């Protein structure tokens, strides 16, 4: 899903869309015909607002005083097994669906791993993304009803996802203009929201048009984006030619997934490029292999710092408040040593 999302975002940027990241919306007010959207960085003015804020879409909706609704998190825990387990499933294998969802599945990934999960548990905390022993054990136990031969010892990572579950009686998506003119919701979009996304986009377009937004077709719209080079998918002849043109493609940064420096640099420099460790990981798979970034992580941090012209201390895992490094070791130790010595001198004076 993230590969598709990145592709669509890149194409939008190529056609003139602007993105503002790491900007939390803290207030929205209606002032005449305009909305004032206030973030912790700046303010934006618009006649229309589309609320597609996922788990926080209810919070955003309530800011403008629209008819309230609630969206609560439904936690799903997953395991990803090594690629030598991928042969065990050729298609997605579902359990019988329940009111909590489609159940725990066993599925091959497009990159060859085996995916197990998700569980389904209603929780209150919209930021709780930790995995639990109970949740993972449940995923394993139920998955073995479908495929009993996978080796759980081959798990390379596990993670938790949070679905945005609406409080509507039929649990359906909340799509449409609210009772505040110009404020449009696309909220409570859980499974199958990914499949429905293109149709939802067309619905939102039509709603915007019907509420008064004048839509002018972009005559020079380009529906294609610049191709992404996957070094592992090239022939030896193509690899040699590429390395001669750009030696960065001859330096392997992620050994598990055979990701080159050239691919990482391209991921950073592309429209809506990667700005964090996870941003690189989702674009080129550096850090998604068996060692989960133990080898390539420090090297990716170095490349990000160089390409973004920032200190390695400013490089984050996934945006605000997730810095990888806390301090320069030698400088930190010198400062702490100086503090201790100063304290000893003061106490012995």
pLDDT > 90: percent of the chain: 85
Average pLDDT over residues 324-341: 80
Same domain flag for 50 and 84 = no
Q: What was the pLDDT predicted at 336? A: 73
Is residue 264 very low, low, confident or very high in pLDDT (cuts 50, 70, 90)? very high
Last residue of a domain, one of 149, 178, 210: 210
**What's the whole-number average pLDDT of the chain?**
94
Q: What is the CATH number of the domain that holds 102?
A: 3.30.9.10
Same domain flag for 157 and 141 = yes
SS3 letters for the chain? CHHHHHHHHHHHHHCCCCCCCCCCEEEEEEECCEEEEEECCCEEEECCEEECCHHHHHHHHHHCCCCCCCEEEEEEEEEEECHHHHHHCCCCECCCCECCECCCEEEECCCCCEEEECCCEECCCCCCCCCCHHHHHHHHHHHCCCCCCCCHHHEEEEEEEEEEEECCCCCCCEEEECCCCCEEEEECCCCCHHHHHHHHHHHHHHHHHHCCCCCCCCCCCCCCCCCCCCHHHCCHHHHHHHHHHCHHHHCEEECCCCEEHHHHHHHHHCCCCCCCHHHHHHHHCCCCCCCCCCCCHHHHHHHHHHHHCCCHHHCECCCCCCECCCCCHHHHHHHHHHHHHHHHHHHHC
Kindly state whether residue 59 falls inside one of the protein's structural domains: yes
Same domain flag for 36 and 56 = yes
List phi, psi (to 5°) of 238. -65, -35
Q: What was the pLDDT predicted at 349? A: 63
Same domain flag for 232 and 258 = yes
Same domain flag for 277 and 340 = yes
Same domain flag for 63 and 185 = yes
**pLDDT, tens digit (0-9, with 9 covering 90-100), for 173-199:** 999 999 999 999 999 998 888 999 999
Give the chain's domain count.
3
Same domain flag for 127 and 146 = yes
Same domain flag for 234 and 313 = yes
Domain that holds residue 203: 2-70+169-210
Residue with tokens 């679905």: 163
Q: What was the pLDDT predicted at 6? A: 96
Same domain flag for 298 and 326 = yes
Same domain flag for 91 and 182 = no
**pLDDT, tens digit (0-9, with 9 covering 90-100), for 53-100:** 999 999 999 999 999 999 999 999 999 999 999 999 999 999 888 776
Last residue of a domain, one of 179, 210, 241: 210
Same domain flag for 58 and 79 = no
Same domain flag for 182 and 243 = no
């Amino acid at each position: 899903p993230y590969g598709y999302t990145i592709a669509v975002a890149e194409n939008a940027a190529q056609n003139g869309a602007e993105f503002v990241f790491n900007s939390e919306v803290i207030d929205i007010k209606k002032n005449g015909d305009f909305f004032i959207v206030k973030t912790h960085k700046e303010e934006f003015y618009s006649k229309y607002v589309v609320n597609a804020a996922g788990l926080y879409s209810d919070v955003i909706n309530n800011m403008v005083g629209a008819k309230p609704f609630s969206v609560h998190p439904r936690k799903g825990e997953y395991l990803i097994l090594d690629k030598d387990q991928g042969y065990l499933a050729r298609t997605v294998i579902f359990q019988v669906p329940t009111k909590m969802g489609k159940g725990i599945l066993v599925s091959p990934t497009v990159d060859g791993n085996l995916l197990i999960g998700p569980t389904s548990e209603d929780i209150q905390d919209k930021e709780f993304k930790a995995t639990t022993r109970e949740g993972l054990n449940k995923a394993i136990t139920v998955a073995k009803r479908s495929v009993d031969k996978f080796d759980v010892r081959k798990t390379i990572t596990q993670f938790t996802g949070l679905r945005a579950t609406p409080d509507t009686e039929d649990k359906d998506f909340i799509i449409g203009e609210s009772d505040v003119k110009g404020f449009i919701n696309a909220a409570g979009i859980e499974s199958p929201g990914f499949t429905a996304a293109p149709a939802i986009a067309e619905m939102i377009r039509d709603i915007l048009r019907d509420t008064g937004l004048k839509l002018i077709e972009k005559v020079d719209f380009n529906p294609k984006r610049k191709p992404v080079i996957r070094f592992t998918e090239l022939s030896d002849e193509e690899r040699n030619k590429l390395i001669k043109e750009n030696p960065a493609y001859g330096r392997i940064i992620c050994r598990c997934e055979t990701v080159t420096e050239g691919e990482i640099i391209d991921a950073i420099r592309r429209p809506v490029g990667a700005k964090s460790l996870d941003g690189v990981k989702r674009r080129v798979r550096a850090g998604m292999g068996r060692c989960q970034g133990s080898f390539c992580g420090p090297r990716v941090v170095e490349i990000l710092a160089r390409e973004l012209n920032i200190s390695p201390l400013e490089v984050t895992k996934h945006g605000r408040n997730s810095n990888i490094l806390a301090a320069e070791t030698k400088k930190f130790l010198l400062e702490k040593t100086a503090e201790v010595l100063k304290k000893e001198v003061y106490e012995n004076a």
